[in-house]
Every structure is written in C-alpha cells, then in structure tokens.
Chains A and B, each alone.
Chain A
Amino acid sequence: MDDTLKSLLAEKKGQSLSAVELAALAAGFRLEMFDVLHSRGTGHWGGASSAAEITTSLYFNRMNVDPSNPAWEDRDRFILSKGHASMNLYTILAYKGFFSPGDLPGFRTLGSHLQGHPSMKKTPGVDMSTGALGHGLSIGVGMALAARLSGKKHWTYVLSGEGCLNEGQTWEAAMMAAKYRPERLVYMIDYNGVQLDGTSDDIMPLNPLADKFKAFGWNVAPKLYDGHDMKSLLESYDWMDSDDVWPKAVIYQTVKGKGVSFMEGKSAWHGAPIDVDSYAKGRPELLADIEKKEAAL
C-alpha cells in the first residue's frame, strides 16, 4: 500500500469510505494480493482479484465490525464461501486492523496464522473456516437464525463463486433459507463466469441464475450489479436496505483475474503461481490502476 492509501486509511479509520476512496483502496489491495501471491508462489489470484471491490466495499463502507474485538457478538458476519480467495480476505482484514499487514507475506508458510484457506481458529476476523466449497450458505443460514433467536440485528453476508453453486449443499441451503427467511441474510455471488477447469458455461452452466433463486423463493436484486464499480456496489447495498423481505440474493458481474489484462477471464489463472515474467508484465497495469483511482480522490 502506498503512502496515499495508508494516509487515507489512517484518516478514515472507523468511518464509511466514499465510492472514489473505496475504488482507490481496492486497487491498492489488489496489488498487495498480487505481490504476496507472486512472492509465495502459491494461492489463488483469479478469484481473489474478482472479489476485490466487493470485499473492500463491504468492510470499509458497510459492515459493522470492531477489529479490536473480533468476537464481538453484535458484529456483522462475513463468510467467504469461496475460501480459495483467502488472500483477498486476509488483505482486507489486515488493513481493517484485525492484524498487522506485516503478517501478509507469511501467507501459506508453516507457522503462519494465514492458512491456505481461511481458518477462524487461526486468523482474527475470520468468522468461519472455509475451503471445501458449498458450505457458506448453510452456515450463514445458521448464523442468521442464531441472530433471530437471540434478538440481535446484525447482518450475515455470504460471498460465493460458481464453485459453491455447483455444490448441491448450496441448493439445500437455498431451500431452507426460503423456508425460514432469516432476517438480514444476504447471499452475494461473485459471478466471474470462470471456474478452475474452464468457463462456467462449459463446466456447469448456472444461468438463468437470478431466476433460479427467484424460483427458490428468494428476494433477488432487480439487476446484475457491476462488482468492480463502487457506485454500483453501493447501489446494491441501498437495495439490501430497501425492504424487509428475506433472504436476499445479489449477483455481481465480475472478471476473474481482474486488473491484469492477459490474466482476465482465464481459468488458467484460477490458482496458478504468478511466475516472474507474468509478475513483471502484470504489475505495471495494477500500479497504473492505482494511480488512476488516486487521481480521482
């Protein structure tokens, strides 16, 4: 993170950031993810990058969390059902203040609290361990039902990719959520259209995805939002607040590997190590994006 972004974080600590501020921050986080994933030679770039704006806006605009008290029982919950995007979540949590950003380079090393996939027992701020795909929505239903039982008003956000939607458990949970309708449960889909082996259309077509959730009895957002555009993301949050009909599903159109042109939309960059040449070629693009976003501040 450059000095501009560090000062922005320091100035706005604990406050909700604006769209332009969030955009600059997300660009900075994306570069940080890219750097660590390259230096470690392991991890998942494609899905970490596609969710950069989604998680940045959630944690720095919307979610009610307290980094000094990760176990605060009234906090909003976030479940990264697509747990392979762990580098994304770790970067966000570190700069949110749950732990030192200096821990990030230790990602996936022996003894680090930053496991290959998120572990709630190891990393402050991680609300649920994930990795095996398809778990998130069920767990989110349970968390939201717990809030109902205990009279709490916090939100539960579950972020999923296509892989989770391939799993049958997600649809079991979708049925149950429509039966019990837990308040403030939101299923957010990072719909980048690419899985490990190829495009979703080739591997396991999901469309018409919004219609599927509607047919399951969900309150589905009236449009697809641009998961890389902060104004669009903030608009989706306005929609979440617009009525009291639960559960809610929101689909974000995103690009896998967003920000590095030759990696975008390619399944090869789902989990491949970022080699030296690709790193050298890709990094300037991410730096340029930061400059552009910072110019708008």
Chain B
Amino acid sequence: MSVAMRDAFGAKLAELGKTNDKIVVLDADVSSSTKSAIFGKAFPDRFFNVGVAEANLVGVAAGLATAGYHPVVNAFAIFLALKSTDQIRNVFCYNHLPIVIAGAYGGLSDSFDGASHQSITDIAIMRAMPNMEVIVPADSRQAELALEYALQQNTPVYIRLNRNAMPSVPEPANFASKKVIVLKEGKDVTVAANGITAAMANDAAALLAAKGVDAEILSIPFVKPLDGDGLAASVAKTGNLVTIEEHTVVGGFGSACLEALAKRKMTYAFDAIGVEDRFTETGPYDELLAAYGLSAESIADRVMKLLNK
C-alpha cells in the first residue's frame, strides 16, 4: 500500500508551490478532502475556496490563467465533469488555457457515498474535449508525476485521482513520455490497465502464470494522448487484448484503445472490463470494485474466458 493518491497529490502541490509562484489553487469547499488545503495553508494568497460552485470555480481559474498564472482546480471528479462541463469545454479547452483539472474521488473510490458521488463517466467526457489531455494515474507516485507533467503544459490537463490508499506499481522510467508502461512482458495476452486497475492486473498476471498464461501487463495512465503505437505493438505480439478501467465501458479508456487500434486494421480477440452500462452503489471500496469485476481474480477469469481456456 502506498500513501493515498490524494495525500500525495496535495503534498506535491504544496511542494511545487514553493518554487513556482505562478501556481494558484482553487477548490470548491472540498479542500480537506482533495487535500488542496495543504497548499492553501502554505500559500493563502494563492488559494481560493469558491464554495460549492464548480461552474464558477472553472470560470475564475480561466481568468487567472489568462494573466500568466497556472491554476489547479480541485473538486470531486464527478462534479467537475458534470457541473462545470460547459465551462471546461467553452473556456478552458476552446481557449487552450494552461490549467490542471484535478478530479478527486475518481471512479468508485468514494465508495460509501454511493452512485451520486462515484465518477464513472468523467473520462469519457473529458477525453471528448479538443485540446484536453487526460491522465489517470495508477498510484500515488504516478499522481505526483502527472502533476509535475501537467504544470509544464500549455493546455488543459485532466488528472483523475483516487481517494484511498492503494497498492503501488513500479515507478516508470519516463512518465512524461506518455508511453504505455510495461509492468510485465508476456506473449499470450495484452492486459491494458488504466488507473488503479494496473496493480490488480499485475496481481492477475501471477494468477494467470499459475494457469500457464503469459500475460503482458501495461499500465496506461495517458488516456489522451493515448500511445496507440505502444499498445498496438503489444497486441500485435499477443493477438489478445483485455482493457480494464474504473469507469463505464462506454466511451472511456477501453473505447480509446479500440479507436487507436481500429485505424491499424489489426485482428485480435478483445474484452473490456469496467462498469457495464449501469449505475453503481454503496459499499466498502474493495468489495465494490470486485462486485463490478475489478479484482485480480475477476481479471484472470475474464482473460481465461477470452483465451477459451
């Protein structure tokens, strides 16, 4: 287990604030949850708590961005993606402004709060917007690297964060290259994992190995731009692809992978693991993830089915 992604992100934001005085941070009355409050305490003049008003949050950030500041807007992923969609599209993206959109409590990670707070459509929404980049870190270290990367871009970058302490994966050599991160090489099947599902996929690889299946495990935090070449090279080798995401299977990471491969006219067997086209529910996080097919065991089972084994 590593430190929770939100804690790592909040601490990194405050650390970067020491050397970069252009960083301004905005939050919508959830700073003690998103951990942007750490920055707020260290740099009160550059921190704005706008109250529960996500549309205004984004608008104010845009105004700051036009004057040379690099805003980091923080709120729950579901509300950023849904309550400020217009502002993110028409102001951040249309104007190509340098802004980091930090979506807290992504996926099912606000598990006890239930479907109203679980963000299963944010990736589909964010990746549809021109000029937007979308990163779903696999663990706390990737979240820190994503923040460092995003603050160096002159474009809106959406970073989807997780609420809870989760297992880590090995640190990538060059996160900012935006390439697929190969956690384990294999020849039988490509398991492409988005966000925190990468650690599950890694565990699934051990289960599969015990059954004689040599899986290649990819951690793919960059949904947009997606490293289609890296993904295609793996699928060309294995002939089988399973995508995993903590999100609806409609329009998210799996869809992005298919779009990238469709242009390459490849032939391969495919399955997409994620929340089927339905709403989720309340429960302990691990149990909830497992109920929606997000566990090492479920992933291994689905891979075996795909391989007809």
| Chain A residues packing against B (C-beta within 8 Å) | 73, 119-121, 127-129, 131-132, 134-135, 137-147, 149-150, 168-169, 172-173, 175-176, 180
- 10 further A-B contacts with Cβ under 8 Å, apart from A172-B56, A176-B50, are A120-B66, A128-B63, A135-B91, A138-B58, A138-B62, A141-B59, A146-B63, A146-B67, A149-B69, A175-B51
- Residues of chain B contacted by A175 (CB below 8 angstroms): 51, 53
With a cutoff of 8 Å between Cβ atoms, the chain B residues found around residue A147 in the complex are: 67
Q: Which of A121, A132, A144, A180 contacts B48 (CB 8 A)?
A: A180
A135 & B68 in contact (Cβ 8 Å cutoff): no
Q: How far is the CB of A128 from chain B (nearest CB, A)?
A: 7
Quick check: A73 and B67 within 8 Å, CB to CB?
yes
Q: With the chains together, A144 CA to B64 CA distance in Å?
A: 8
* B63 lies within 8 A of A145 (CB): yes
**Cβ B94 vs Cβ A150 within 8 A:** no
Contact, CB under 8 Å: B55 / A172: yes
Whether A138 contacts B63 by the Cβ 8 Å rule is yes
B53, closest chain A residue (CB): A172
In the complex, the chain B residue whose C-beta lies closest to that of A117 is B90
Contacts of A135 in B (CB 8 A): 59, 87, 90-91
What's the minimum C-beta distance from B259 to chain A, rounded to whole angstroms?
A: 26
B258 touches A (CB below 8 Å): no
A145 touching B48 by the CB < 8 A rule?
yes
B residues within 8 A CB of A145? 48, 60, 63-64
Contacts of B58 in A (CB 8 A): 138
Which residues of A have CB within 8 Å of B55? Answer: 134, 138, 168-169, 172
Question: Majority SS of interface residues in chain B?
Answer: helix
Q: Mark B28-64, 1 if CB is under 8 A from A, else 0.
A: 0000000000000000011010110101101111111
The CA-CA distance from A129 to B58 in the complex, in Å, is 14
Contacting pair A139 B63 (CB below 8 A): yes
B95 contacts the other chain (Cβ, under 8 Å)? yes
Does residue B286 face the partner (Cβ distance < 8 Å to A)?
no
State how many angstroms separate the Cβ of A58 from the closest Cβ of chain B: 18
Closest chain A CB from B217 CB (angstroms)? 41
Closest to B71 in A: A142
Q: Which residues of B contact A (CB under 8 A)?
A: 24, 45-46, 48, 50-51, 53, 55-56, 58-69, 86-87, 90-91, 94-96
A169 to chain B: which residues have CB within 8 Å?
53, 55-56, 59, 87
Contact of A173 among B59, B91, B94 (CB under 8 A): B59
Smallest CB-CB separation from A143: which chain B residue? B63
Q: How far is the CA of A137 from the CA of B67 in the complex (A)?
A: 16
Q: For the complex formed, measure the closest distance between the CB of A238 and the CB atoms of chain B, giving whole angstroms.
A: 26
B66 engages A146 (CB within 8 Å) = yes
Contact of A176 among B53, B62, B90 (CB under 8 A): B53
Q: In the bound complex, do residue A139 and residue B69 qualify as a contact, i.e. CB atoms below 8 Å apart?
A: no
Q: Contact at B91–A129, with CB atoms within 8 Å?
A: yes
In whole angstroms, what is the CA distance A139 to B62 when docked? 6
Q: A146-B66, A147-B67, A149-B24 are in contact. Are A131 and B59 (CB under 8 A)?
A: no
B302 to chain A, nearest CB (A): 42
Shortest CB distance A114–B (Å)? 16
> Which residue from A127, A132, A138, A150 sits with its C-beta under 8 Å from B60?
A138
CA distance A127 to B65 in the complex (A): 12
Q: Which residues of A contact B45 (CB under 8 A)?
A: 149
Known: A141-B63, A142-B64, A146-B68. A129 touches B95 (CB 8 A): yes
Interface centre among B45, B51, B60, B64 (most CB of A within 10 A): B60
B56, B91, B94: most-surrounded residue (chain A CB, <10 A) = B56
